[in-house]
Structure 1
Amino acid sequence: MDDKQTQSMVAKVIGTGAALAAAFLVNQVLNQAWKAKTGHKPPRADDPGDAGLSEIVAAAALTGALVSMARVLATRGTAKFAAKTS
């Protein structure tokens, strides 16, 4: 394996780690913000059926959008950093 392939593999591993960390962080912030606003945690799939449909849809949309955005930004940031360092 040449040096370019090794750097590419390292960049992919670091990018994946950054994306996972960003998704975890956004999820934690969203949970805290939801709890501050509503007084309880956002509904989850394994929760009993006490949440309304509108609350479930809002939680799913916010979580999906924010986690996806964080993952994309972390991955792109890592790729740009790797390109600058090579």
Structure 2
Amino acid sequence: MDEKQTQSVVAKLIGAGVALGAAVIVQKILSRAWEAKTGHAPPAADDQGDAPLAEIVAAAALTGALVAISRVLATRGTARFTAKL
């Protein structure tokens, strides 16, 4: 493997790690904000069906959108950072 390919692989690995970390942080922030606003935790996959459908859809949409945005921003930031190295 030449140096450029090695840097590309390293950049992808670092980007994946940073994106995963950003997704975890966003989920924790969203969970706390949800609890502050509604007084209870957001619905989870293992709930026994006691959450209204509208609440499940809202939680899924917010979580999906915010995690996707954080992953894109983290990946782009990491790519810019590793390009400078």
TM-score band by shorter chain is over 0.9
Structure 1 runs of 4+ off > 3 angstroms? none
**Letter aligned with residue 76 of structure 2:** R
**Letter aligned with residue 5 of structure 1:** Q
Quote the RMSD (CA, aligned, Å): 0.7
Matches within 5 A, 1:1-86: 1-85=1-85
Give ranges in structure 2 of 5+ residues lacking alignment. Answer: none
Distance in 2 separating the partners of 1:16 and 1:63:
18
TM-score, structure 1 normalization: 0.94
Give ranges in structure 1 of 5+ residues lacking alignment. Answer: none
Distance in 1 separating the partners of 2:11 and 2:36:
37
Deviation at 1:11, TM superposition (A): 0.5
User: How far does the alpha carbon of each residue in 1:42-64 deviate from its partner, in whole angstroms, 9 at most, with x for none?
Assistant: 00121011111110110000000
TM-score, structure 2 normalization: 0.96
